[in-house]
Amino acid sequence: MHDGGGVVHAGRAGRAADGVQVVAYLGDTNGDGRYISLDAQRVARLQAGLYAGLETYRTIDPRLIGDVNRDGTLTAAASRMLVSETQFLLGRGTNA
């Protein structure tokens, strides 16, 4: 991360804001490039405090990957959304 405050480039001042870039699918908590039930399970375990973070994304806040409903927290709702998406992709239900 980089704080751009005080930096001038091409006559424009940088903003004092930090950022992060992650190449991952939102909700793919194990980093295998697919949505499987393990992804939802990991969100549930994070929410319950059984995990402190995600092994695949050790330096990334788990909310950036697991917060699929983008409410700022890891909740049971996010886990349910992942279960629903997994079931839909497997052809076993609706994506409701």
Question: Is 10's pLDDT higher than 70?
Answer: no
Query: CATH code for 23-89?
Result: 1.10.1330.10
Question: Looking at residues 20-31, what average pLDDT do you find?
Answer: 92
Task: Indicate the average pLDDT of the chain.
Answer: 85
Q: Element (H or E) spanning 7, and its range? A: none
Model's pTM, two decimal places? 0.73
Cα(22)–Cα(81) distance, integer angstroms: 21
Burial 14-25, CB ≥16 within 10 A → b, else e: eeeeeeeeeeee
Q: What is the per-residue pLDDT across 71-86, written as a single tens digit (0 to 9) for each?
A: 999 999 999 999 999 9
The band of 69, judged by pLDDT with boundaries at 50, 70 and 90, is very high
Which residues are registered as beta bridge partners of 13? 8
How would you class 78 by CB atoms within 10 Å of its CB: exposed for 0-12, middle for 13-18, buried for 19 or more? buried
